[in-house]
Amino acid sequence: MSDSPYLVERMQGFGTTIFAEMSALAVATGSINLGQGFPDEDGPPEVLEAAITAVRDGHNQYPPGIGIPELRHAITAHQAAWYDLDYDADTEVLVTAGATEAIAAALLALCEPGSDVVTFEPYYDSYAACIAMAGARRRVVQLRTPDFSFDPEALERTITPRTRVLLLNSPHNPTGKVFTVEELELVARLCVEHDLFAVTDEVYEHLVFEGRHVPLATMPGMRDRTVTISSGGKTFSCTGWKVGWLCAAPELVDAIRTVKQFLTYVNGGPFQYGVAVGLRLPASTFRRLAAALQEKRDRLSAGLAAAGLTVLPSAGTYFVGADIRSLSETDGLAFCRSLPERCGVVAVPSVAFYDDKEAGSPLVRFACCKRFEVIDDAAARLRGMRR
């Protein structure tokens, strides 16, 4: 999509998202969509029924600006039970229109024009757009294949006197990386030494297969300088509800709420009741959801390998990455655009998430959050793709 002559300069280059392009391609060609990360099965019935009940009980008007009390208290109970993080439901929690709005509002609130925001590449595409909307500059540290490690010295060199925010995503989309405690300790130390705010995207916190999710806010010195963001959409397979939240110190919440109220104002009133119920489900439910997704990851990974792709490690999230150089191909964008014709499957080219286009070019992301029969059908089609 070409840039609009009316679009402000800082947003030039942000045309139709790669997800929209590939999903439209899936519809147009009747292909299996393993591109966009949304499940094709509903989540826990208790969550769905709570939202339905809320609609029937008349909770269909504006909810409170900071979110309904039931959800805010469920969020604080969740943070305490899972991570021993203590937040006040009235002053340190803000419900948002998904994690995407929380990230946008945080960056708009905390960054001045000309500020630097440090993040890791590949990065979820909205990060770049939100940084640009804030008038800030993106500075990236690369997660290097095949294990998605990063150079600690490169991270330290990337921080400048203009750096205001470090934006961290773990479990990480699109790679599936789960940052280790040692990596988080390094990030925390640099944030404290350079007096940075951390904004953390933790939407896949309960969908971890290897290792464990550790919030950055639990690291020494980080509780009051971290904006911890999550949502119910990924965990409970209700991505269309767009119910997210952030937890932070009162002063940070006040700053972000000032911006957020002029974005969506509020959203998802009855869905907030559903997510509140979901967050109070027993730990065994969360483990079951992660185990079911892990089985799908393994099934898809085996199918990709059988089709000749080099499968990259994924310790969590909805996604499995692959390197197409094992198929004697190097252009992931061209590969993904041709894949529907070649075998009737849609994936997403990882180059869309990189500043370093050469590093991202041979990588492709597949979504594993689909029914087994869909995964098996896609795997069979990929094995038969025309070379």
Instruction: Please check whether residue 274 is in contact with residue 129, taking contact to mean a CB–CB distance below 8 angstroms.
Output: no
- Say whether 92 sits in a helix, a strand or coil: coil
Return the amino acid letter for 212. R
E strand intervals along 238-296: 243-247
* Residue type at position 138: R
Angle subtended by helix axes 98-110 and 125-133, to nearest 10: 30
Rounded distance, CA 62 to CA 166, Å? 33
Helix 283-306 vs helix 372-383: crossing angle, to nearest 10 = 20
The residue with tokens 């792709």 is: 309
Count the neighbouring beta carbons within 10 Å of the beta carbon of residue 185. Answer: 15
d(CA 27, CA 166): 37
Spell out the per-residue pLDDT of the chain, length 387, in tens: 456 889 999 999 888 888 889 999 999 999 999 998 999 999 999 999 999 999 999 999 999 999 999 999 999 999 999 999 999 999 999 999 999 999 999 999 999 999 999 999 999 999 999 999 999 999 999 999 999 999 999 999 999 999 999 999 999 999 999 999 999 999 999 999 999 999 999 999 999 999 999 999 999 999 999 999 999 999 999 999 999 999 999 999 999 999 999 999 999 999 999 999 999 999 999 999 999 999 999 999 999 999 999 999 999 999 999 999 999 999 999 999 999 999 999 999 999 999 999 999 999 999 999 999 999 999 999 999 876
End-to-end CA distance of the chain: 28
The amino acid at 233? G
